[in-house]
Structure 1
Amino acid sequence: MYKVVFKVFSNNSYINSLRELRKAGFIPIYFRRNNGIEEYTTLYNSNDINEIKEAIVDFAYLISKQGKSGGYDFAKIYKVEDKYIGKIAGGSLGALLGFQFAGIAGLILGTLGGIFLGELFDIEYGQTLVGLVNWPTQLVS
């Protein structure tokens, strides 16, 4: 699995590009807009780096239709190792706290929430930088 962080110059457009990310095959996790720069944190479920680069070009094409562009750090690609420590710890801690505060229903919801937070922890701390992709120059008009 790969994590890709995009930096997009929005050119004063208030439309986000989450739909285009999904069309290109990415799973959006986090979105932030700051001074005309949009930052998207996504996951891509594949082990082939060439497939990810093709999806990045597809996403660049889709957002270029909206008048958006990128810079020298358009996409940062991270390889995410599949670890289970965060999911196990988060699920068990969530189950204990949920049961303590809300009984059986809290146990179930705490387990699910803990597994989700544990997955985010595993993604954040089990990653290594693979590469940096510039804005595709063939898409600039």
Structure 2
Amino acid sequence: MYKVIFKVNSNGKFTNSLKTLSKSGFIPIYFKRDRGIEEYTAVYRSNDINEVKEAIMDFAYLLSKEGKSGGYDFAKIYKIEDQYLGKVAGGSLGALLGYQLAGIAGLILGTLGGIFLGELLDIELGQTPVGLLAWPIQQLTE
């Protein structure tokens, strides 16, 4: 699995591109906008780096059709190792707290929430940097 952090220049557009990111095959995790620069954090479920680069090209093409662009630090790629420690710890802690606070319904919801948070923890702890890709599409000047 790979994690990719995109930096996109919105060029005055006030829309986010989360649907475009999903169309490219990524699973969006986080979105932030700051002074015209949008930052997307997404996960791609594949163990082949070439598939990830192809999905990045698709995303860049769809963004260029929206009038957005990127720079030299368009996509930061991280390889994520499959770990289960965070999911197990989060699920059991969430189940324990949920049961203490709300009984059986809390047990179920706490387990699901703990597994989700544990997955995010596994992603953050098990990542190693792979590379940095610049904006892959040539800008057309008119």
TM-score band by shorter chain is: over 0.9
> Offset at 1:23?
1.0
Do residues 123 (structure 1) and 123 (structure 2) align? yes
TM superposition score normalised by structure 1: 0.97
> Aligned residues, how many?
140
Give the letter for the 2:120 counterpart. L
Local SS of the residue matching 1:28: strand
> Offset at 1:15?
1.1
Equivalent residue, structure 2, for 1:69: 69
Equivalent residue, structure 1, for 2:100: 100
Give the letter for the 2:129 counterpart. L
- Equivalent residues in 2 for 1:1-141, closer than 5 Å: 1-138=1-138, 140-141=139-140
> Offset at 1:137?
4.0
* 2-structure distance, mates of 1:69, 1:16: 13
Cα contact 2:61–2:137 (8 A) shared by 1? no
Give the letter for the 1:16 counterpart. N
Cα contact 2:94–2:113 (8 A) shared by 1? yes
* 1-structure distance, mates of 2:16, 2:61: 15
Q: Which runs of 4+ in 1 moved over 2 A?
A: none
* 2-structure distance, mates of 1:37, 1:116: 28
> Offset at 1:21?
0.7
> Offset at 1:73?
0.4
Local SS of the residue matching 2:107: helix
* 2-structure distance, mates of 1:136, 1:84: 35
* 2-structure distance, mates of 1:99, 1:54: 45
> Offset at 1:11?
0.6
Q: Structure 1: where are the runs of 5+ without partners?
A: none
> Offset at 1:119?
0.3
The structure in which a higher percent of residues are strand is 2
* 1-structure distance, mates of 2:84, 2:66: 39
